[in-house]
Amino acid sequence: MDQIKLKSSLCEKCLQETQHKILFLHSVGSQPSDDYHAEEKYFTLECAGCGHTSFRYEMHDYEGGYTADDGEWIHDIVVKIFPNFLPEAKRFKRAAWFPDDISNIYVETTNAIKDENLVLAGAGLRMIIEAIAIDKKVPGKHLENQITNLQKKGLISKLDSSRLHAIRFLGNDAVHALKAYEKEKILLALEILQNLLTSLYGFEGMFIPTLELPINSYKEFRELVLKRIGNATNLKKDHVYTISAILGNENRRILRNTERFEKSLKKEIQAGKFKKLSIENAIHGAASSKTYYKILT
Ligand SMILES: [Zn+2]
């Protein structure tokens, strides 16, 4: 059996260079008699870590390169991976609650970087700042003033402000002078904007799942009761409580449905479908005529 050949390549799922099995390799090279010496390699690869399949193209230019520190001649290789992706954009968790206009220009900008359209990328980075200024209703005729006003409104720090001005210069060069910055600088600017987007919008949304939303269905009510029985420190096994005591300060989330939900809960207990509680009918000396439930062990 042929030994499986491995090749290091960037994996879209692992988001790092990993060893890949070479499933297929086709090579098209120049002949020794040709004037110019180059070779194209077409790979089908499978990530040895996650099994993701990708295509890799390499263009080996044997007539250009550099001498490494150890004296070895390294020829130039252009690598393209299909499907193409930008790890810096993939790693960033773009929150669903970013405003649409900002999300749209952000995606177009990262696509431009991915496709090496670096003039458009520079213009896009500038437009992300403009979109933020519009969303935050920051006054100012020009972006320069708007950035200053973002800082005055306390939305960004002084350090953020100078970084945004640097991105504005980069964007201006793209828009007015059609200048493309090196990809490293574009990626640095993208990272600055990603951090800014997270601090302006990311945390805002992160709180949503922890907010106390109203309980609208019996299913949610049932889950809440189970959660309270499991977590509330003041509720003890074998002790009896009213439904209000079981729910504690979560009562306010039920709004006007408590009676209806409690009725359904009782039915479930009586039918033996809810096994964490039993109904204690006659509680001698209890303070109210409410139904009491015993928390079962
Ligand atoms: Zn992988």
Q: List, for residues 93-124, the tens digit of each pLDDT value.
A: 766 667 888 988 999 999 999 999 999 999 99
Task: Return d(Cα 187, Cα 191) in angstroms, integer.
Answer: 6
- Beta bridge partners of residue 241, listed in sequence order: 293
Nearest to 117 by CA among 174, 193, 62, 163: 174
Which residues have CB less than 5 Å away from ligand 1 (the ion)? 11, 13-14, 47, 49-50, 52
pLDDT confidence of residue 287? 66
- For 46, which DSSP code? E
Instruction: Please give the biggest Cα pair distance in the chain.
Output: 106
CATH topology of domain 87-208: Four Helix Bundle (Hemerythrin (Met), subunit A) (1.20.120)
Cα(71) to ligand 1 centroid in Å equals 33
Q: Two tokens at 61?
A: 């230019």
Place of tokens 């520190």: 69
The mean per-residue pLDDT over the stretch 50-72 comes to 94
> Which residues fall within 8 angstroms of residue 223, CB to CB, at 6 or more apart?
none
Per-residue pLDDT for 270 more than 90?
yes
Please write the tens of the pLDDT for every residue from 179-220: 888 999 999 999 999 999 988 887 655 544 455 678 889 999
pLDDT confidence of residue 204? 57
Cα(13) to ligand 1 centroid in Å equals 5
pTM exceeding 0.75:
no
Cα(84) to ligand 1 centroid in Å equals 14
Per-residue pLDDT for 256 more than 90?
no
Give counts: helices (H), strands (E), the chain: 10, 8
